[in-house]
Structure 1
Amino acid sequence: MTQSARTVLFALGVMLSALSLGMLAPALADLDHDGASAHAFFGSAMLGLGAGGIMVLLGRSPEHRLTARSAILLTAGAWAVLAFAAALPLKLSGMEISWTDAIFETTSGLTTTGATVLTGLDDLPRGLLLWRSILQWIGGIGIIVTAMAIWPMLGIGGMQLFRLENSEKSEKVLPRAGQIALAVLLIYLALTFACFLAYLGAGLGAFDAVNHAMTTIATGGFSTRDASLSAFAGTNADLVAALFMVLAGLPFVLYVRAAQGRPDLLLTDVQARGFLMVIAAFAALLTLIITLSPEIAHDSAKPAWRLALVNVISILTGTGYASADFWAWGGASAAVFFMLMFIGGCAGSTTCSVKIFRYQIAFSALTSYIRRMTRPNMVAPVRYRGTVLPPETVRSVFVFIFLFFATFAVSAVLLSFTGLDTVTAISGAATTIANVGPGLGDIIGPAGNFAPLPDAAKWIMTVTMLIGRLEVLVVLVMLTPGFWRR
């Protein structure tokens, strides 16, 4: 076994063991309420710890080295292995659920997509609901660490701009990558706890508050209720969710910088500022649409701006909470939400989709190209954050955007072949590649569910969720023959 293979096996074993330990929390939650569910989690935890321990022993080495190929294998393998292991207690819990549905649900959880095949959430065992939230919380912190530590090394889609270590000492947030990871974890924990307290203050019970705190900070969107945020219509839970979804959509490194005395960066950073401007623009547009369309059936107890703001932030960040059935708001609103799916939040956050910085770089590049077309002798470099970008960085951004939308198109065509109608196929492809959660239409819209879909469609969406969460190229490069050659 090669050194890089040992590293991958060791890391996967550690992750599987950690996930298995996490199963003890829902087991304890169900101990006095649902014996079958508790036993399923205890049994799955023991199996996972045994398998993870064997992988750690087989992969142990005095020195662990991570090459580009092993980093790709580790990233893709981690999500696939953990999704399968996480599905085991769902299958053993006594619920009438197929392996297809179980793996779809756990993949949706770990990728923080939020699409669900489960119904009757209000009556499910508390342990199962807690497990879904834990999966999203793990996926949220996992994607931040991956985006900060692995993707910049691979130069995927311009992510090399966000390296943990920089040759210029002044650009280092902290002197070591491990310190940054620890700082980000502490901030993640602090935001989760603050969100929990805010939900309590808004009127939610402790169990609902802790679950929604985890899925809000992870921008995942799993809820303990079938009606999502609509179930708490008499509270201010929607405003709490909106605030913390925005906080989770900002780059977590900026919180580290804020703790070091630069809180101004949370508003002045070019990516953060662009993110907030997109929220303001689309919220204003949707407020206008709702206000000028009296036929739109919406909750009259809440003003149009509030409905618009909460749902815009939810879809933009890929959280997927719904405080209303926005599919019933008409075609103009549906078009707005469809566009939001393809934007996303900031790099280095828990959000998904294309992300703000890539659109900013693409706009800068297109502006530069147009200026050079009109004045061929002009020197018009592509800049981002005041720095001239090398051509390979700009090229990687355009390659990512092209492959992202190409994957979306292929996925939509494949879903249509499974018998889905046009709206369901297109929005299903969009919401899974962008890891948003709810789609559009009567089946998978904000008031719907993914359970009625055929198994073939669910497997396509499962793969699409992984491709989208792993920044497209991580999965697609594994399909090339050259990747597997020595």
Structure 2
Amino acid sequence: MNQLTRPREHSRHVPRAIQQLRPTLYISSYFGVAFALLMLIPALIDVADGRDTWSVFVLASGGVFCVSVLGVVALKQPMPEFSPRFGFLLTTVLWGLCSIFAAVPFWLSPLGMTPAAAYFEAMSGLTTTGATVLSELDLTPRSFLMWRSLLQWLGGIGIIAVGLFLFPFLRIGGMQVFRTESSDRSDKTMPRVVSVTRALCAIYVFASLACAITYAALGMSLFDAINHAMTTVATGGFSTHDRSFGFFEDSRLLWAAVFFMCVGALPFLLYVEMVVRGRFKLFSDWQVRTFFVGIIIIVLALSVWLEKTRNIDYEDALTQAAFNVVSVVTTTGFASDDYAVWGPFAFGAFFILTFIGGCSGSTTGGIKVYRFIITFQALRRAFTRLVYPNAVQPLRFGDKRIEQDVFDSVVIYFVAFFLVYAFTILALSLAGQDFVTALTGAQTALTNVGPGLGETIGPAGNFAPLGEFELWLLSFVMLLGRLEIMTVLILFTPVFWRD
């Protein structure tokens, strides 16, 4: 009798986090099936182009499909009750495994990519970072260009959903200030979650279609228009040409991209409110106003700088400044020119802009505007208390009062961000990279921007010269930046795995 009950008693002592690993892998297996089916799209493009590389996607699709179906069958079990612990585990494992699925075609391709390079490219796509190890994109088979764009498009809608429904619930980095009924995991709010999700997906698809149609109408080929539309709305930055948007040499396309990059950088929940409830609160939102005011000031300053230092007319200077500033602030990573050679002021401006990012609940990466707003409010309160020690001045974010736990989360996020940033710089320097490459490589991976600064990984370069260690490291850092750092780091703490 004791022998019969011993296995059951042993299972009771298995930590709950380890028990939740099985349903996490079960859910991830369904995503693997979806990725396997999506691989058939670039395979069909190869068939239409008469290229033999269709077999790469068919082979990758078959392998991922078989492994994923095996996982669905073998790991099936009732879903556990949703909890913060399960949310942390599911989010991190899902993003990591999906990047492995997405990397298989790159690894099997004739592009000569190592496992580290293939995983880097896939992670860069799904995290909408836009950093790449590929060169000669103009000669690359269209199937692989489409696969990269698809990954960024899926990563964009994925991070919006996580940012709206999961991060506020997990109380990550001050995201709980955006807690609504949509981020409540109770059964009574599920109909609301489903309706918001449907509206969210419809808006995302509509914005992508509108962007593609606009690009095509302004002179892009249909293939270029579809690819750039997916990576613009997702604020990802993958292009089908080595020169990125500089290939097209059309200011109308640059301004169209500015508009749709801004669309992707704004809170999608405000779009849902506008479409579903008819409430136009876009420009009354404090975060949105701060975002646009900051962009306008920086664009005007850089326009004057370009006009004076590069002897170009103000209209061209304004176009170049607006496109590249918006591209960096929204963490898209497109480039119309090598802004690293615009001079010291521009170099410093773009270095700072890389940190900022867009709004919460958008497709962008970076630190996010709302965290800077909360930090500024805290700084202003600190100055007030220096003069009036007994003054009562609560922190506010728009019409919401900032609770202490929200402010604490923001502070912890900043500390974690710059600690990870510092350790990544040291690791890249230890691996032999020059200071500018280490500094901006760590920065662009953690903020999910894409290109760094300098000759190696700047707007005119790529990440191919980096070694295997650097690519694995930056892949992990991209995941940290995309999932708000603490979501991933908590898995490496003993307290997470204890009951």
Smaller-chain TM-score range? over 0.9
- Return the letter of the residue paired with 2:146: L
Q: Which residue of 2 aligns with 1:117?
A: 133
TM-score by length of 1: 0.95
Which of 238, 245, 252 is residue 268 of structure 2 equivalent to?
Answer: 252
Q: Which residue of 1 aligns with 2:152?
A: 136
- The answer for unaligned runs of 5 or more in structure 2 is 1-10
Which of 163, 170, 186 is residue 179 of structure 2 equivalent to?
Answer: 163
Which of 240, 259, 265 is residue 281 of structure 2 equivalent to?
Answer: 265
Q: Which residue of 1 aligns with 2:28?
A: 12
Q: Which residue of 2 aligns with 1:225?
A: 241
- Offset of residue 108 of structure 1: 0.6
Which string of whole-angstrom CA distances, capped at 9 and with x for unpartnered residues, describes residues 59-92 of structure 1? 4334442221221111111111111111111121
Which string of whole-angstrom CA distances, capped at 9 and with x for unpartnered residues, describes residues 362-387 of structure 1? 11122122222321221111111222
Q: Which residue of 1 aligns with 2:5?
A: none
- Return the letter of the residue paired with 2:382: Y
- Offset of residue 58 of structure 1: 3.2
TM-score by length of 2: 0.92
Q: Which residue of 2 aligns with 1:93?
A: 109
Instruction: Return the alpha-carbon distance in structure 2 between the equivalents of residues 474 and 293 of structure 1.
Output: 44
User: Secondary structure at the residue paired with 1:51?
Assistant: helix
Q: Which residue of 1 aligns with 2:224?
A: 208
User: Secondary structure at the residue paired with 1:224?
Assistant: coil
Which of 152, 155, 178 is residue 168 of structure 2 equivalent to?
Answer: 152
Q: Does 1:375 align with 2:388?
A: yes
Instruction: Return the alpha-carbon distance in structure 2 between the equivalents of residues 418 and 263 of structure 1.
Output: 52
Q: Does 1:388 align with 2:404?
A: no
Partners of 1:130 and 1:211 within 8 A in 2:
yes
User: Residue 136 and residue 74 in structure 1: after superposition, are their counterparts in 2 closer, same or farther (change >3 A)?
Assistant: same
User: Residue 461 and residue 442 in structure 1: after superposition, are their counterparts in 2 closer, same or farther (change >3 A)?
Assistant: same
- Offset of residue 174 of structure 1: 9.8
- Offset of residue 479 of structure 1: 1.4
Instruction: Return the alpha-carbon distance in structure 1 between the equivalents of residues 443 and 102 of structure 2.
Output: 25
Partners of 2:235 and 2:364 within 8 A in 1:
yes
Instruction: Return the alpha-carbon distance in structure 2 between the equivalents of residues 183 and 174 of structure 1.
Output: 14
- Return the letter of the residue paired with 1:141: I
User: Residue 235 and residue 44 in structure 1: after superposition, are their counterparts in 2 closer, same or farther (change >3 A)?
Assistant: same
User: Residue 453 and residue 54 in structure 1: after superposition, are their counterparts in 2 closer, same or farther (change >3 A)?
Assistant: same
- Offset of residue 167 of structure 1: 11
Q: Identify which range, 301-310 or 78-87, moves more after superposition.
A: 301-310
Which string of whole-angstrom CA distances, capped at 9 and with x for unpartnered residues, describes residues 208-249 of structure 1? 000000000110000000110000004622111111000100
Which of 430, 436, 439 is residue 417 of structure 1 equivalent to?
Answer: 430
Partners of 1:249 and 1:345 within 8 A in 2:
yes
Which string of whole-angstrom CA distances, capped at 9 and with x for unpartnered residues, describes residues 327-379 of structure 1? 11111101010011110000000000100001111111221222223212211
Task: Spell out the pairing of 1:379-458 with structure 2 (5 A cutoff).
Answer: 379-458=392-471
- Return the letter of the residue paired with 1:439: G
Q: Identify which range, 137-146 or 8-17, moves more after superposition.
A: 8-17
User: Secondary structure at the residue paired with 1:236?
Assistant: helix
- Offset of residue 433 of structure 1: 0.5
Instruction: Return the alpha-carbon distance in structure 1 between the equivalents of residues 308 and 107 of structure 2.
Output: 48
Instruction: Return the alpha-carbon distance in structure 2 between the equivalents of residues 331 and 417 of structure 1.
Output: 27
Which string of whole-angstrom CA distances, capped at 9 and with x for unpartnered residues, describes residues 255-300 of structure 1? 01111354531111111111111111111121121122136xx7x7
Instruction: Return the alpha-carbon distance in structure 2 between the equivalents of residues 436 and 60 of structure 1.
Output: 38
Q: Which residue of 2 aligns with 1:198?
A: 214
- Return the letter of the residue paired with 1:243: F
User: Residue 312 and residue 174 in structure 1: after superposition, are their counterparts in 2 closer, same or farther (change >3 A)?
Assistant: farther
- Return the letter of the residue paired with 1:449: N
Q: Does 1:485 align with 2:498?
A: yes
- Offset of residue 41 of structure 1: 0.8
- Offset of residue 55 of structure 1: 2.0
Q: Does 1:292 align with 2:308?
A: yes
- Return the letter of the residue paired with 1:435: N
Partners of 1:315 and 1:341 within 8 A in 2:
yes
Instruction: Return the alpha-carbon distance in structure 1 between the equivalents of residues 434 and 55 of structure 2.
Output: 40
Question: Over alpha carbons, which structure has the higher Rg?
Answer: 2
Q: Which residue of 2 aligns with 1:108?
A: 124
- The answer for unaligned runs of 5 or more in structure 1 is none
User: Secondary structure at the residue paired with 2:465?
Assistant: coil
- Offset of residue 439 of structure 1: 0.5
What CA RMSD, in Å, does the superposition of the two structures yield over aligned residues? 2.0
Instruction: Return the alpha-carbon distance in structure 1 between the equivalents of residues 199 and 259 of structure 2.
Output: 22
Identity fraction in percent: 40
Which of 221, 243, 251 is residue 259 of structure 2 equivalent to?
Answer: 243
User: Residue 64 and residue 452 in structure 1: after superposition, are their counterparts in 2 closer, same or farther (change >3 A)?
Assistant: same
Q: Does 1:304 align with 2:320?
A: no
Instruction: Return the alpha-carbon distance in structure 2 between the equivalents of residues 45 and 37 of structure 1.
Output: 13
Task: Spell out the pairing of 1:330-345 with structure 2 (5 A cutoff).
Answer: 330-345=343-358
User: Residue 260 and residue 180 in structure 1: after superposition, are their counterparts in 2 closer, same or farther (change >3 A)?
Assistant: closer
Partners of 1:136 and 1:218 within 8 A in 2:
yes
User: Secondary structure at the residue paired with 1:176?
Assistant: helix
Partners of 1:174 and 1:180 within 8 A in 2:
no
Partners of 1:7 and 1:65 within 8 A in 2:
no
- Return the letter of the residue paired with 1:323: S
User: Secondary structure at the residue paired with 1:273?
Assistant: helix
Larger RCO (alpha carbons 8 Å, 6+ apart): 2
Partners of 1:184 and 1:253 within 8 A in 2:
yes
Partners of 1:208 and 1:224 within 8 A in 2:
yes
User: Residue 166 and residue 143 in structure 1: after superposition, are their counterparts in 2 closer, same or farther (change >3 A)?
Assistant: closer
User: Secondary structure at the residue paired with 2:123?
Assistant: helix
